[in-house]
Amino acid sequence: MDSCQLTEKDARMIKYCMKKVSSYSTIKTLILSNNALGSKGAEAISSVNFEELDLSNCKLGISGAHSIGKALSRVNSYKRLYLYNNGIKVEGCRFIAKALEENKSLEVLDLGSNLIRNKGFQALTSTLGTHIKLLALKNNKLKDKSFNEFMDAYHKSGNKTLKTLLLGSNDMSMYSIKLAMEALDGKLYLDLGLKLENHNDRTLFLCGILPNNKKPQLKKFFDSKGCGVIESIEVFHGKEKKKGKKNIFGFVKFAHKNGKMRVVKMVKDVEEKVIKPKKKNN
């Protein structure tokens, strides 16, 4: 029931129907994303037991997060919970983090785009003692301080459950990220995406490639070409210099400081060996 213009009244009706059929129903997943359910709708829906519940972009707010937190405290049927873009902020994140200390079932939690900031991230260190396998916190204004504190807590806890941490579009520095990856040694997958705070509506294309990719076939390819691993590619649409003429430009960032010079040399070699001979023949 994604994007069905449902409201809190509809949420209460769903609750009523599910209660009536609970004794013989086999429904395990409920997707209500992109509906204006609000905090009252969250309260109604969270009282029903599901394995997977998607309330992404449902305008839950802090009160809605509180209702979800209370449900997590008393219900151990939830395995996957998606609360992306609900404005739960720091307080809402704290409610959920506290509830997870008592929950024994949840494995996947998505709190992306909720403005939880550093204090919310710090509260989530308590999830390291839970059954959470995947924690998604994309686009939450997270910085180095809370990231480093979370990673320190991860190492101290001896956690073997958390396998994936999604942190794309936040504000951590590449220095902190590289240190964390070296310390993890592959035990936890970090998906960090790209920092988007410096980009705008003129951004046409973004591509990020982790600089520590150790796949042998990839390394062999780069070695054969004499260039380095690309860390990111950015393509922008600039202002038109002349009417009717597009102005598109891009930046390529290499993981190694010598990568740029190697590629410039490679391009010159191609120009000398391939492009110029073709022009002469023409």
Q: Which of the four pLDDT bands, split at 50, 70 and 90, describes residue 115?
A: very high
Cα within 13 Å of Cα(215), Cβ side:
9
Q: What is the pLDDT of residue 196?
A: 37
Q: Which CATH superfamily is domain 1-198 in?
A: Ribonuclease Inhibitor (3.80.10.10)
Task: Please determine, for residue 194, whether its predicted confidence score (pLDDT) is greater than 80.
Answer: no
Q: Percent of the chain at pLDDT above 90?
A: 39
In this predicted structure, the answer to whether residue 154 has a pLDDT above a threshold of 60 is yes
On the question of pLDDT at 204 being above 60, the answer is no
111 pLDDT tier (thresholds 50, 70, 90): very high
Q: Where are the beta strands (DSSP E) in 52-139?
A: 52-54, 80-82, 108-110, 134-136
- Mean predicted confidence (pLDDT) in 186-212: 54
The confidence score (pLDDT) of residue 48 equals: 83
In whole numbers, what is the pLDDT of the chain averaged over residues? 79
User: What would the pLDDT profile of 35-59 be if each residue is shown by its tens digit?
Assistant: 999 999 989 998 888 899 999 999 9
Crossing angle of helices 38-45 and 8-21, in 10° steps, is 10
With beta carbons less than 8 A apart as the criterion, state whether 96 and 67 touch. no
What digits encode the pLDDT tens for the residues 223-258?
Answer: 665 555 566 666 666 666 666 666 666 666 666 566
Q: Taking residues 65-88, what's their average pLDDT?
A: 93
- pLDDT value of position 60: 96
Q: What does pTM read for this prediction?
A: 0.69
Is the confidence at residue 222, as pLDDT, over 60?
Answer: no
What amino acid is encoded at 179 in this protein? L
Rounded to whole angstroms, the Cα distance separating 126 from 120 reads 11
* pLDDT attached to residue 136: 93
The CATH 3.80.10.10 domain(s) of the chain lie at 1-198
